[in-house]
């Protein structure tokens, strides 16, 4: 896959609804990303972040623009081929964690492997390893509903990583976590998600995790407004915080 851009998006447009009820969620988004990278999307509520990453994950069809994800346009695939492509290549952490309530935490984490037809025993072993990495050893047999919000979010993170996806999209992955836990799981996301043949696109309001990203892409009103190097953004934030403290 090296040599092929991981994400090549040009003029992505998306409108929900029709007529008076139409909402233009994306108004021509351009975005490029390479394997090995973590790109953070930031911007005000309603600016189109979830819509954009849903399109990048092949979960939602766009209305306009061009898109290549590791050389594949998910909208050019039929429904069945798109589902198979997604199972093979994509991981997601949803804003609402979307765990399956009727099955155990361990089985939830193993879902991406089981859907790909991998052996149950091996899938559950791999799921248990990921659960340990997110600090949930001992909770494998619990029902998701018996866990706290932060624990459920960590189950969702383990599930998103279990099959080694080439494209991982995360919607506010640390929203329910305390600072220290957020740092620990982001280390795991970075380690597992940003390999030479993988990348992560992350939506976040959490400035404490900006330093995990390589690039910060700012959005407003359905468009990308600017892109900055994450190190420069973090340095600027720290300087601004220092000035606040000394004033
Ligand atoms: N299923 C839907 N049907 C109709 N409108 C929608 C739908 N999903 C999103 N929208 C609208 O599209 C716009 C972009 O929504 P989106 O969820 O992408 O924003 P966001 O940047 O993720 O916001 P937040 O930070 O609050 O999660 C908003 O105006 C929203 O109301
Ligand atoms: Mg959102």
Ligand 1 probe mutation, 12, 17, 22, 25, most atoms within 8 A of CB: 25
CA of 49 to the centre of ligand 2 (A): 6
- Its pTM stands at 0.94
pLDDT confidence of residue 237: 87
pLDDT confidence of residue 116: 93
Give dist(CA 229, CA 46) in Å, integer.
Answer: 24
Give dist(CA 57, CA 48) in Å, integer.
Answer: 14
- Residue located via tokens 């992560």: 200
Domains and CATH numbers, the chain: 7-246 (3.40.50.300)
Ligand 1 probe mutation, 51, 219, 223, most atoms within 8 A of CB: 51
Give dist(CA 115, CA 178) in Å, integer.
Answer: 32
- Residue located via tokens 């992350």: 202
pLDDT averaged over 10-residue windows placed end to end, the chain, 247 residues: 81 96 97 96 97 96 95 94 94 92 98 96 98 97 96 96 96 94 95 96 94 97 95 89 80
Q: Which ligand is nearest to the CA of 26?
A: 1
Q: Which atom of ligand 1 is nearest to the CA of 17?
A: 4
CA of 174 to the centre of ligand 1 (A): 19
CA of 132 to the centre of ligand 1 (A): 34
Q: Which residues contact 117 (CB under 8 A, 6 or more apart)?
A: none
Q: 164, 188 in Cβ contact below 8 A?
A: no
CA of 140 to the centre of ligand 1 (A): 34
């Amino acid at each position: 896959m090296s040599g092929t851009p991981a994400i090549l998006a040009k003029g992505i447009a998306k409108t929900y609804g029709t007529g008076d009820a139409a909402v233009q969620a994306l108004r021509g988004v351009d975005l490029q990303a390479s394997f090995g990278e973590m790109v953070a999307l930031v911007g005000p509520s309603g600016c189109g972040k979830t819509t954009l990453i849903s399109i990048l994950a092949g979960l939602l069809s766009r209305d306009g623009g061009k898109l290549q994800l590791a050389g594949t346009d998910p909208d050019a695939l039929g429904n069945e081929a798109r589902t198979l492509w997604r199972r093979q290549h994509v991981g997601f952490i949803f804003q609402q964690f979307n765990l399956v309530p009727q099955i155990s935490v361990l089985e939830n984490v193993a879902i991406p492997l089981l859907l790909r037809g991998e052996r149950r025993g091996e899938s559950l072993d791999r799921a248990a390893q990921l659960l340990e990495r997110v600090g949930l050893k001992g909770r494998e047999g619990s029902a998701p509903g018996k866990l706290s919000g932060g624990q459920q979010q960590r189950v969702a993170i383990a599930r998103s990583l279990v099959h080694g996806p080439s494209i991982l999209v995360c919607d506010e992955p640390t929203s329910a976590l305390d600072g220290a836990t957020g740092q620990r799981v982001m280390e795991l996301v970075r380690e597992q998600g940003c390999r030479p043949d993988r990348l992560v696109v992350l939506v976040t309001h959490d400035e404490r995790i900006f330093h995990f990203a390589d690039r910060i892409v700012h959005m407003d009103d359905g468009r990308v407004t600017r892109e900055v190097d994450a190190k420069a953004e973090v340095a600027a934030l720290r300087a601004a915080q220092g000035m606040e403290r000394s004033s």
